[in-house]
Structure 1
Amino acid sequence: MKTSFVLPADIEPLSRDPKATSPGRRINLHHSMCFGCGADAPVGLRIDVIAGEGLTVSASMKVEDWMQGGPGVIHGGLLSTAFDEVMGTSPLLLRMPVVTGHLEIDYAKPIPLGSTVQFTGEILGGVRRKVYTRAVAHLGDPQEPVAAAHGLFIAIDLEKHFAGYRDRAVHPSGHQNGA
């Protein structure tokens, strides 16, 4: 797969935090109502991102009927969301919360409803608060990718970044904070 994504010349290697999630375990993320990973979201992808060795992750996603875009295949925007979830979770191996700065996807083949998409991802390096990642999706054969993505994620201070929004958060009960 070809992509136009270019890493910066001053990119530096990054190191896994000693307190990061152990390889083979689910990386626990922010909140249960997240569309990408939340178990309590009424509709969502429910992706479990699994820590790998070093700065790698893996995940899988069942392509359900409600995800349809073109006839019988996943909507490209939902695949984009899945890549965002997988790559945006990987910086937690650095113990660094991030938000998406740039996401670039190359779609190679249609992904049929009823299939299970497998993802592998890795952190490529960083520059100051920027973390560069990539991921590949396949349907069981890593040598036959159906899509690939690159991302740039920006490290944030969670409290500052989400100040003013937390009171709007929806809980599994369906109620907003303060409601």
Structure 2
Amino acid sequence: MKHAFVPPADLEPLTRHPKAAAPGRHIALHHSTCFGCGDDVPLGLHLKVMAGEGLTVDAQMPVQDWMQGGPGVIHGGVLSAAFDEVMGTSPLLVGAPVVTVHLEVDFAKPIPLGSDLQFHARILGSERRKIYIDAIAHLGDPNAPVAGAHSVFVVIDVEKHFAEHFDKRVVL
């Protein structure tokens, strides 16, 4: 896949946090009403991001009829939201809550409704508060990606960042 995104050549390597989810374990995040991972959102993505080896994560998502964009295929915005959720969860492996600064998605092939889309993301490194991540989506063969993404997330203090919007009834 071709893309214009080029991370800095001198990224600092990151190490997995000692309390990070073990490989194969679900990385719990957000709250039950999060569009990306929440269980209480009727038409949410319901993504369960799983810790991988090193600084990688994996997730899968059934491509459902309500996700349709063009006839019989996923909407690009839904795919972008899924990438954002998967990639935005991965910094928890290094103990860093983040928000999206840049997200670039490369659409390589149409993704049909009814397929099982699988994601694999990896943390590339950091530059000050910025964390660089890339990911692919495939339909069962990681060597045949149907989409790819590159992103930059910035580390935040959750309470300060969301202070104006924080609902004291929601547990982060």
The structural deviation recorded for 1:166 is: 1.5
* Mapping 1:55-134, distance limit 5 Å: 55-134=55-134
- The alpha-carbon deviation at position 143 of structure 1 amounts to 1.3
Q: List alignment gaps of at least 5 residues for structure 1.
A: 172-179
Kindly state the Cα deviation for residue 169 of structure 1 after the two structures are TM-superposed.
7.6
SS of residue matched to 1:32: coil
After superposition, the C-alpha distances for 1:94-135 in whole angstroms (9 at most, x for unaligned) are 111000000001100000000010000100000111000000
For residues 167 and 141 of structure 1, what CA distance do their matches in structure 2 show?
41
The structural deviation recorded for 1:57 is: 0.4
Distance 2:73 2:130 in 1: 34
Q: How far did residue 74 of structure 1 move?
A: 0.3
Normalised to the residue count of structure 1, the TM-score between the two structures is 0.92
Taking the aligned partners of 1:122 and 1:21, their CA distance within structure 2 comes to 15
Aligned identity (percent) is: 68
**How far does residue 9 in structure 1 lie from its aligned partner after superposition?**
3.2
Look at both structures and tell me which one has the larger radius of gyration over its CA atoms: 1
Calculate the TM-score normalised by the size of structure 2. 0.96
CA offsets per residue over residues 120-155 of structure 1, 9 Å max, x none? 010000011100000000001111110000000000
Partner of 1:2: 2
Corresponding position of 2:153: 153
3-state SS of paired residue (2:161):
helix
| Matching residue's letter, 2:24 | G
SS, match of residue 88 in structure 2: helix
- Partner of 1:166: helix, strand, or coil? coil
